[in-house]
């Protein structure tokens, strides 16, 4: 699959030429619909041919040549290949780019000056995973969004390690005073809760740094 930079370079190279852009959706899960892309593509190509009927003969012949090239390239395409979608850009000089796309794109064909790259740009955005974190002071859940699907990646929980008096397993030292229960104990617990939350944030930062994708959204409050 082309990178964004390579796609821009291709568009610049072809922007003054007539280009047949073909996108094919091969992601049908229903066996009865696996050849639906062939029907959709034929309709799209026929619409272009009808639109060109009043055009100069050279334009009609150029489109026909590109159409034949595209159909030859697609001769072996099918869901069994494990490819979600397919794209091809054709000029009278031959195929300029053909290849798989890892996300679903509706089947279409376009005959235009320069390649039709808008569907490809949308596919590039869908192909890049986005990490979403939903958290509060006690826990964080990390989700990954990619190609229209959301999956739970990990759950991190705050861990508390409240300080315990050293004499818990042995007699207290001479002169030990247990202090006043209630307020003192609550303050100790509050400090530990804050420390636990800080440890949770540190663990979350390390986990996000190790994940592939754009960690662009964090939802929650401390």
- In DSSP notation, 68-121 reads HHHHHHGGG--GGG--SEEEEEEETTEEEEEEEESS----EEEEEES---HHHH
Pick from 160, 152, 159: which is nearest to 134 by CA?
152
- Domain ranges across the chain: 4-127, 130-220
Query: Would you say 89 and 97 are in contact if contact means Cβ atoms under 8 Å apart?
Result: yes
CA distances for 136 relative to 13, 133, 157, 194, 202, angstroms: 50, 10, 10, 12, 14
CA-derived radius of gyration, the chain: 30
Q: What is the pLDDT of residue 192?
A: 79
Structure tokens at 34: 């696996």
Helix (H, G, I), strand (E, B) or coil at 142: strand
Q: What is the pLDDT of residue 30?
A: 66
Q: Which residues pair with 135 in a beta bridge?
A: 140, 220
- The pTM assigned to this predicted structure is 0.63
What burial class does residue 100 get, using C-beta atoms within 10 Å of its C-beta: 0-12 exposed, 13-18 middle, 19+ buried?
middle
Q: Any idea which residue has 């890892």 for tokens?
A: 102
Sheet order of strands, 149-157 included? 149-157, 139-146, 130-135, 214-220
pLDDT in tens, 100-117: 888 888 999 999 999 999
Distance CA 78, CA 106 (A): 15
Higher pLDDT, 127 or 41: 41
Look at residue 171 and tell me whether its pLDDT is greater than 70.
no
Look at residue 135 and tell me whether its pLDDT is greater than 90.
no
Higher pLDDT, 167 or 39: 39
Q: What is the pLDDT of residue 200?
A: 82
Look at residue 61 and tell me whether its pLDDT is greater than 70.
yes
Q: Taking residues 76-83, report their average pLDDT.
A: 60
Mean pLDDT, the chain, rounded, equals 81
């Amino acid at each position: 699959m082309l990178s964004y930079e390579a796609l821009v370079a291709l568009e610049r190279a072809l922007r003054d030429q007539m280009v047949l852009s073909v996108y094919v959706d091969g992601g049908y899960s229903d066996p009865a619909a696996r050849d639906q892309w062939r029907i959709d593509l034929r309709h799209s190509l026929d619409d272009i041919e009808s639109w060109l009927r009043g055009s100069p003969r050279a334009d009609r012949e150029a489109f026909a040549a590109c159409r034949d090239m595209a159909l030859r390239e697609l001769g072996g395409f099918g869901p069994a290949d494990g490819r979600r979608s397919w794209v091809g850009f054709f000029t009278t000089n031959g195929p300029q780019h053909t290849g798989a796309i890892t996300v679903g794109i509706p089947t279409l064909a376009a005959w235009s000056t320069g390649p039709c790259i808008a569907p490809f740009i949308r596919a590039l955005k869908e192909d890049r995973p986005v990490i979403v974190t939903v958290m509060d002071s006690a826990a964080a859940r990390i989700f990954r969004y990619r190609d229209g699907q959301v999956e739970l990646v990990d759950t991190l929980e705050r861990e508390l390690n409240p300080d315990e008096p050293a004499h818990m397993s042995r007699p207290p030292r001479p002169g030990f005073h247990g202090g006043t229960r209630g307020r003192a104990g609550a303050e100790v617990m509050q400090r530990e809760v804050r420390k636990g939350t800080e440890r949770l944030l540190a663990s979350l930062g390390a986990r996000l740094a190790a994940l592939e994708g754009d960690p662009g959204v964090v939802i929650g409050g401390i």
